[in-house]
Structure 1
Amino acid sequence: MLKAMNFRSLEEFWAFYVNQHSMPSTRRWHFVGTLFSILFLFFSVFFSWWFLFFVPLSGYGCAWYSHFFVEGNVPATFGHPFWSLLCDFKMFGLMLTGKMDREIKRLGKRPVLQVF
């Protein structure tokens, strides 16, 4: 059973979100899922609406896999779906620009080193 957590702001949730994505491979799985979601959305607009089916499947599939099998925690989406989506895009942008490690340090977290 999930315990409801109350956050007063998106910035407060962001700190929690980053903590829930402490492993680099978790963040990479999210990046790949978000990238594929964006591509499938693009394909649905320009080629066929059938690609819309793959937008949530690829995004949530990659993200949830990383939480259950890599990070070992429950996806924040279950308790805070809208804020999780916003933070996923924020993390995607920070990773795309190479600023995610700096953001982790700003929040006082140390990136967890991983071999894989």
Structure 2
Amino acid sequence: MEPKRYSSFAEFYPFYLSQHQDPVCRRLHYIGSSIILVIIINTLINQHWWQLLWLPVVSYGFAWLGHFIFEKNRPATFTYPLYSLWADWVMFGQMIRRLWRK
């Protein structure tokens, strides 16, 4: 069966959120995204460019643990890599905004 094709990010994002209902899965995404930011900042400060090799390991590692163990679904990044990357950061930004409001 051919996966649904989304014509815009706005159309894709509700699907993305539906694939992240488990709170542990979302937390693992947030942890991975936070570590990504730390790695990037540290790399820019120290100019140890080899550290960037950790980016896919950290980002996919935390996210895939969440999907395969807790959410029990197939990560959207397999079918929609660019929309999924964008959606990860939108979801992360929404989480940060919620934390600031508390």
TM-score over 0.5 for the alignment?
yes
Task: Give 3-state SS (helix, strand or coil) of 1:33's partner.
Answer: helix
Partners in 2 of 1:11 and 1:61 — Cα distance? 26
**What is residue 24 of structure 2 aligned with on the other side?**
25
Partners in 2 of 1:38 and 1:8 — Cα distance? 29
**What is residue 55 of structure 1 aligned with on the other side?**
55
**What is residue 83 of structure 2 aligned with on the other side?**
83
Aligned residues: 98
Point out 4+ residue stretches in structure 1 off by more than 3 angstroms. Answer: none
**What is residue 67 of structure 1 aligned with on the other side?**
67
**What is residue 5 of structure 2 aligned with on the other side?**
6
Partners in 2 of 1:91 and 1:75 — Cα distance? 15
Name stretches of at least 5 consecutive residues in structure 1 with no aligned partner: 100-116
Does structure 1 residue 42 correspond to structure 2 residue 41?
yes
Give the TM-score normalised by structure 2: 0.90
- The 8 Å contact of residues 38 and 55 in structure 1, kept in 2 or not, is answered as no
- The 8 Å contact of residues 20 and 73 in structure 1, kept in 2 or not, is answered as yes
Deviates more, 1:3-12 or 1:25-34: 3-12
For residues 44-87 of structure 1, the C-alpha deviation after alignment (integer angstroms, 9 at most, x for no partner) is 22211121011111111100110000100000000000000000
Identify the structure with the greater helix proportion. 2
Partners in 2 of 1:51 and 1:43 — Cα distance? 9
